Amino acid sequence: MTLSEKQKMLCGELYDCKDPELVDLRFRARRLMRLYNTSTEDQLDRRQELLAEILGHLGQGVWIEPPFYFDYGSFIELGDKVYLNVNCVILDCNRVRIGDQTMLGPSVQIYAAYHPIDAVERCAGPECAAPVTIGRQTWIGGGAIICQGVSIGDRTTIGAGSVVTKDIPSDVFAAGNPCRVIRSLKNG
């Protein structure tokens, strides 16, 4: 059985982003993103309706400050009481899961998408994507970049401006470029 380009994308295989199904999904996402980002404070019910239409899973009490940018939206799963500040970008070419009560500062960028390192392969056009998981009660400081395939544990704090290229465990403060664990946040 041959996989569709969408299935390849979600399985972490090389895929063609120009595939008509994926192009249609991105056009749909762009339309919804534009509606969300131009909504006003007196349209809060409409914003929630749009988020429910955009996202793969929308927990209770989610708040996303516009503008908010994404590739598909449908591969983003947000737990309860998740907060995203202004200018957050999620390139959800694979699953992006964010746990309950997690907060993202302004201009946080999450990239499930990436390209082959080999120039010949990259120039041939196929892209790659790997899932990103952020745990519960986690704080991602403003301007942080979370790269493809990364998992960040529960109750962890990522310092502002950090570039997270590798998994970060639960209950730590991590920062830097590349991001590394600075200290434990466990009591006792």
Active site residue 115: yes
Whole-angstrom Cα distance, residue 58 to residue 48?
A: 9
**Residue 18: which H helix or E strand, with range?**
none
Exactly one of 18, 31, 115, 122 is catalytic; which is it? 115
- 176 exposed, middle or buried (CB, 10 Å; 0-12, 13-18, 19+)? middle
Q: With helix as H, strand as E and coil as C, how does 58-89 read?
A: ECCCCEECCCEEECCCCCEEECCCCEECCCEE
Residue with tokens 């929630």: 48
Question: 36 with 66: CB under 8 angstroms?
Answer: yes
Whole-angstrom Cα distance, residue 113 to residue 65?
A: 23
Letter for the amino acid at 9?
M
Whole-angstrom Cα distance, residue 152 to residue 150?
A: 7
Please state, in angstroms and as integers, the Cα–Cα distance from residue 169 to each residue in 28, 98, 152, 180, 187, following that order.
35, 15, 6, 10, 15
Q: Count of CB atoms within 10 A of residue 15's CB?
A: 23
Report the catalytic residues.
Answer: 115
